[in-house]
A and B are shown apart, each in its own frame.
Chain A
Amino acid sequence: MSSRLSQRIAFALLFLATLVVVLPVVVILAIIVAKGASAISWEFLFTMPRDGMSAGGILPAILGTLYLVLGAVLFAVPLGVAAAVYLVEYSGDNRFSRLVKLAIVNLAGVPSVVYGLFGLGIFVIFFRFGASILSGALTLGIMILPVIITSAREALESVPRHFRTVSLSLGASRWQTIRHSVLPHALPGILTGMILGLGRAAGETAPILFTVAAFYLPRLPQSVFDQTMALPYHLYVISTQVPGVPENVRYGTALVLLALVLLLNLAAIILRSRFRARKKW
């Protein structure tokens, strides 16, 4: 076989592999849009469900997911970034920091249903938060901690070492150096971690199953101690637990969940590129 022919075959195979990777995304999007777009309306997005959830809107589920994602990020980002700063800037390389890093890697490997059970035991029962937005958001927050810590660590480590040396040589303290010459330049990477965390928190069903999600609620949650409906769980309910829900309502709900995640990601990506445009070294 000539080298030219084998090269062509190799390129064709590589191209095919790329195509196969893209295909599921396109097909999933196409099916969901095709079957769900007809359900999307003002009423669907902004009103309460009616007739045993087979009609009306999905407003409580949309709001619930937004609350949960927001709560998870508010909890996990400051905590995760602080831990990453400690690991990168202060702890150095010793037995303790290696143990912590190992723990973080393992935390990332825990199945999401185990987080759900953990949240039930700790937040719902032990701390007596009950099944509530607080419990659910904290559970989701812990679930996304590893990805936030890991990406924040990578972002901090990629800030050139001489930024720190220069800052310290000008009489800044270590904390001032971190605050003014390291963190600002690590922000794009930290936001990337937040994006990944957002997407995961919005889509997971298992962690909220025991900690917050309600089958059906006639009114919107009034405080963080209330239960709430949420999109992933609502999708599960109307697809398997409630008979007679029209197909376009089910696919419409999936479409909204997908659009919500994409929208959150888009906002974070725009934010990140804004920061990145101002920095260059």
Chain B
Amino acid sequence: MTDQNIVKKEEQLVGDLLETRFLTPRGAIFSQTEGGFLSLAVDGTDYGRVKVIRAFPFTDPARYLSVRQADNEEREIGMIEDLDVFDPDTIGWITRQLEMRYFVPKILKVREIKEEYGYSYWWVETDKGTCRFTCDQNGVTKLSDTRLLISDIDGNRFELADTGGLSAKELRMVDLYM
């Protein structure tokens, strides 16, 4: 084997690891099974059940979705750069998967936040109903100056999309944890 050949083979091997395939409606055909699983076929290859993961869950949730095999290896099949280019059915299926995976109730109203011994007790109204949960000291993450992600002691997440939309009283309670 000549040096050139080795280099070529090497490049191909590394290339497989380093290159990302982008999935478009032209090659990728998604479908939803009866049991609610998402499956994918690309250019005739059937991958069976797949998972969809957001690459930028906070800053760009509808774009740069990584589609992976649902087995333990979770090998990436490809990325969706923009979900909007797919047909409405596919958008619906994928959105359903994403909403299941990223189940994060949005906080609409803060009723009460109590603090005791390093834990804060939140009583909030969310788009999924009223919730009461407990956070430890690292529970509140600032995603931006006005956007907060709140995780309770079991890792359940809640989002406060815009602190600017809160009343002065709510803001005063939340402000202590920002």
A and B associate: no
